[in-house]
Structure 1
Amino acid sequence: MTPANLADTVLSAARAVFETRGLDIAALPATTAVERPRNPEHGDYASTIALQVGKKVGVAPRELAADLAEELGRRPGIKSVEIAGPGFLNIRLDAAAAGVLARDIVLAGSAYGRTEKLAGERINLEFVSANPTGPVHIGGVRWAAVGDALSRLLRTAGAEVGTEYYFNDAGSQIDRFARSLLAAAKGEPAPEDGYGGAYIAEIAAEVVTKSPGVLDSADPQEIFRQIGVELMFAEIKKSLADFGVRFDTYFNEKDLHDRGELQEALDRLREQGHVFESDGATWLRTTDFGDDKDRVLRKSDGDWTYFAADCAYYLDKRKRGFDRVVIMLGADHHGYIGRMKAMAACFGDDPSKNLEILIGQLVNLVRDGEPVRMSKRAGTVVTLEDFVDALGVDATRYALARYSSDSPIDIDIDLWTSASRENPVYYVQYVAARTASVARNAADAGLVRTDDFKPELLAHDKENELLKTLGEYPETVAFAAQHREPHHVARLLEKIAGAYHRFYDEPACRITPKGDEPITDGHRARLWLNDATRTVIANGLSLLGVSAPERM
């Protein structure tokens, strides 16, 4: 019995009690939840439903809890129900009801953990969106790992998700990039406001190879702009793909200008009554919706601002049918939240429903206790390639997704490359490999899962602990998706890994028979539990974009 099944049973029992007592059924919630008590001695699960609804219907919560306990005690799979404090229900399952979860997980396979909590939501998720003037840097690496994990989570929770990379190929930074490439090709120092690093020289050389006469052309800077940006973006896409991150849409800012979408956005905002002219410039009155100042859309010289492109891009996403636009930004973009929320309101949208901005804090890559600050290619920043070279793809993705993105973190190279229990990704992947090894050894011994699975034989404390922890997976996935926090999945996987190790190390819970010992129904039942663990670990690692190895 999963927590969700038990929650449904609790709600069903509550309806029966309400009908017997003649209470108002409408006072009951549409859904309820059960939680694991902090102290295992208090039971397998706890419910607060009596506390939630007792006073609403004029019944003391503890009195209502007594009726609920009696009703639940008659339900299949429930061993006992105790009342604690002012009306808490502490519920214990019988061994068969708890153990059947192992079979349910194995039979569900990759579908275990999928829910419909976010069904019907169309979400556009934009992340990374690094400027096409250099490799993906350390902040972008964090969003690549977290954003991709979040897209997987949202889909697993039933949402329709479109992932998007915004390619800033218009504006002054592209001019500086082109000038830097031209200078490198001529063997000159980078412009004062330009870009440095070995990658600039590499790309400049590629441009010359593709266009041999570029330096003698009428407008070499424009050629370096066109070919150089194309080469840089191809490199960015490849490095992200090698990291396991691919986007549904790569959106070019230049297209907004070429298709006249900035003017379209301006016209729409003007229709809404929030545009005004001042000092020869065109402004959006975002202060009407809480921004600290009004924002310029078009400057007095006729040039569009970056904010105008932001407005056009948001409108483009909404026109494509996305109900919610989620944008993941770095710590230095915190000031964008107010203006972007106000912009959505100026379009007539509800910023609390249609626009969501997530801010990620800084990451440091640390070796021997000191931050790694310099990249071999980029010169001044640590790049995606540097991260992967130091840790590998799996460890990098897991390490960055393991922490709440609103917290700054230090990633210790020594820790995350160690083959030890202290290394979280190794600890979890080791369980993936061990469960696969156990399954192979069982097959060699003639032990296989059978249809006459006896879940009541999974009655040992260590088996019960592992079952309960596996049962937390669906709700954890749903919670992580709803709150945009993939780190909850990683932390549960580590919890499952700990429970599995304790189960595996318990002599009374041996899975494969020892020596000439005959195969029993107990061995078969524990094989189901072993394989269920493998399933959940593999599913959870997949959500984080991390492999579940069969051997280590």
Structure 2
Amino acid sequence: MSIQEKMKDKIAGVVMNALQAARQKETLPDTEVEGVSEMIRLEVPRDKQHGDFACNIAMVLAKPLRTAPRKIAEAIAAEIAPDRDIEKIEVAGAGFINFYLSANWLYEILLNIEQQGEHYGKIDMGKGKKVMVEFVSANPTGPMHMGNARGGALGDCLASVLEYAGFDVTREFYINDAGNQIEKFGNSLNARYIQQLKGEDAIAFPEDGYHGEDITEHAKDFIALYGDKHLSCTEEERKAALVDYALEKNIAALKRDLEQYRIVYDVWFRESTLHESGAVQEAIDLLTQNGFTYQEDGAVWLNCEKMGLEKNEVLVRKNGIPTYFAADIAYHINKLKTRGYDWAINVWGADHHGHVARMKKALDAVGLDGNRLDVVLMQLVRLMRDGEVVRMSKRTGKAITLSDLLEDISVDAARFFFNMRSAGSHLDFDLTLAAEQSNDNPVFYVQYAHARICSILRLLEEEGVKVLPYSEMHPELLKEEAELDLLKKLGELPEEIEAAAKALEPAKITRYVMDLAAAFHTFYTACRVKVEDTDLMNARLKLIDSTRIVIKGVLTMLKITAPEKM
């Protein structure tokens, strides 16, 4: 349990005892309110003048006690006596109870960080439950675009947050190597192959084909290896050979680009295995057995209307080929039933919004709880440079890919910037700012805080001054506002991890480390570390070293470097 949680539990207990005392003295109605202890909520006020914690229990109890919240708050506050930790209690506004604490409760944060080191902030919220986070899953018929780049940062950082929160996390990439996209890929490769060997007029390029230069390059490379021998094959045999060749090249490129982006997947799962194993047909059969399919115009449909949704979906086309949606249902059955994950999380583009409810209902229809699936919907990215929208790569003259982006800016900047805002927010990615070496650049600002602390520690160590163990220093000497604010911010990490895990919002952790860096820079401006008072110097040294440990731990969790010199 974190220091914050311990203090919240203590204050909640104090409030509960005071409420009972007020009822016994009849300063409040003796009305039983079921579950009142669970109603006590403590928040950190935005304005520090309102104390360290604020409790709104008076507002919650106003209706059942039929009493004005201000009167309830005053009656409760009157029964609370200050102690070693609680210096003062005030009733504010309509009935908030504000608690002003002594600094004593904060000092233990330094001991926790010393004991836990790089593991500080980890919690046991997940209790080892198996979670799969599936993200990016870019179409393997071409390179990754900006949406994939954002999804990669969000998904990977979310997986890290869940690991910190105590879940057993698997990162998975779903390879769409079956269905219409692969058919188009094969048709495109076939046309370019024949055009390379027989000329542009030998075959018309399909209207819905992939027009990228990468298709032509694949055809050229294939010819360099095998010559024209596949011209004598049937078209289906030739397309299959071209797809087998080019698809593996593209998947290898995806892996290479993602590893450069510091994303390493535990599993690369191929859609084709679901068809080959019969899992797709089994999913359709199960839906049919449970009464959720019907046939019309030669196709098999999912009866979404029966599930309470508006639009029915095709599962098997007239030609007998299952749709992508049918395979996706089978894939999620595989996640939750076959492989036994307790929880599945997908990071999808916002254009998949309508797909979420259908997938959850389909899981319900096959006897799995659709609530075991959560989907993080991600909005679009707009690249900006010098205030102008950037759509094309300077190098290729085409849409900017992940690999193009990482030629312009660092991996650190890309991962940090993509994870600065919640997935549901549109993101303007400022390429100019991301490349700047200044405090205006948030990732530089955080990394510089870490490097500055390392520099202070290094210089003092050269003078023979080292960071003392908690048992040998005097934390009570940390009394300045900037010192206490930095301590409080250090203490917030476990709760921030919990909040980020519950909300599936890793951007909370990026914002936290920015706030922590800001608290350190404020401290550095207000308080000298190297002072004549040796005990005070050792206390401040311990404080900044704890800050270094936490900044490095958070950046490492986000797979962002923590330089010691800048």
> TM-score, normalized by length of structure 1?
0.91
Q: Which amino acid aligns with 2:8?
A: A
Query: Match for 2:306 among 288, 306, 309?
Result: 288
Cα 1:481–1:210 shift into 2, 3 Å: farther
Match of 1:79 in 2: 87
Query: Match for 1:524 among 526, 529, 538?
Result: 538
Match of 1:499 in 2: 519
SS of equivalent residue, structure 1 residue 335: helix
Match of 1:345 in 2: 364
Cα 1:166–1:489 shift into 2, 3 Å: same
Measured in 1, the distance between the counterparts of 2:326 and 2:114 equals 52
Compare 405-414 and 449-458 and name the one that shifted more. 449-458
- The alignment yields a C-alpha RMSD, in angstroms, of 2.6
Measured in 2, the distance between the counterparts of 1:477 and 1:106 equals 19
**Aligned-residue offset at 1:369:** 2.6
**Aligned-residue offset at 1:32:** 5.1
**Aligned-residue offset at 1:278:** 1.8
Measured in 2, the distance between the counterparts of 1:260 and 1:530 equals 59
1:311 and 2:326 matched: no
Measured in 2, the distance between the counterparts of 1:66 and 1:542 equals 47
Whether the aligned pair in 1 keeps the contact of 2:453 and 2:544 (CA below 8 Å) is yes
Q: Which amino acid aligns with 1:501?
A: H
Residue-by-residue CA offset, 1:411-456 (whole Å, 9 max, x unaligned):
1211111111211111111111112222212212222232222221
Measured in 2, the distance between the counterparts of 1:214 and 1:438 equals 68
Match of 1:540 in 2: 554
Measured in 2, the distance between the counterparts of 1:19 and 1:111 equals 40
Match of 2:4 in 1: 3
Compare 539-548 and 255-264 and name the one that shifted more. 539-548
Residue-by-residue CA offset, 1:216-252 (whole Å, 9 max, x unaligned):
5624332211111111101101111111112221110
Match of 2:173 in 1: 165
**Aligned-residue offset at 1:212:** 5.3
Which runs of 5 or more structure 2 residues have no equivalent in the other structure?
25-29
Match of 1:422 in 2: 440
Measured in 2, the distance between the counterparts of 1:31 and 1:322 equals 33
1:439 and 2:457 matched: yes
Whether the aligned pair in 2 keeps the contact of 1:51 and 1:87 (CA below 8 Å) is yes
Whether the aligned pair in 2 keeps the contact of 1:198 and 1:379 (CA below 8 Å) is no
Measured in 2, the distance between the counterparts of 1:180 and 1:485 equals 39
Query: Match for 2:189 among 181, 186, 192?
Result: 181
Percent of paired sites with the same residue: 38
Match of 1:384 in 2: 402
Match of 1:145 in 2: 153
1:399 and 2:388 matched: no
**Aligned-residue offset at 1:409:** 1.5
Match of 1:272 in 2: 290
Residue-by-residue CA offset, 1:437-483 (whole Å, 9 max, x unaligned):
22212212222232222221110011122122222222122111111
Residue-by-residue CA offset, 1:12-48 (whole Å, 9 max, x unaligned):
2234335655676953334855322222122222222
SS of equivalent residue, structure 1 residue 479: helix
SS of equivalent residue, structure 2 residue 143: coil
1:323 and 2:342 matched: yes
Residue-by-residue CA offset, 1:370-389 (whole Å, 9 max, x unaligned):
33222478764221101111
Q: Which amino acid aligns with 1:388?
A: L
Residue-by-residue CA offset, 1:493-527 (whole Å, 9 max, x unaligned):
22121111111011xx21124xxx4x511111111
Which runs of 5 or more structure 1 residues have no equivalent in the other structure?
none
**Aligned-residue offset at 1:103:** 3.1
Whether the aligned pair in 1 keeps the contact of 2:347 and 2:375 (CA below 8 Å) is yes
Match of 1:122 in 2: 130
Measured in 1, the distance between the counterparts of 2:80 and 2:166 equals 31
Superposition pairs of residues 330-369 of structure 1, within 5 angstroms: 330-351=349-370, 353-369=371-387
Match of 1:238 in 2: 256
> TM-score, normalized by length of structure 2?
0.89
Measured in 2, the distance between the counterparts of 1:301 and 1:258 equals 18
**Aligned-residue offset at 1:76:** 3.3
SS of equivalent residue, structure 2 residue 348: strand
Cα 1:359–1:403 shift into 2, 3 Å: same
Residue-by-residue CA offset, 1:113-171 (whole Å, 9 max, x unaligned):
21223335432221111111011111111100000011111121122222211100012
Cα 1:72–1:7 shift into 2, 3 Å: farther
**Aligned-residue offset at 1:265:** 0.3
User: Size of the alignment, in residue pairs?
Assistant: 545
SS of equivalent residue, structure 2 residue 564: coil
Match of 1:196 in 2: 211
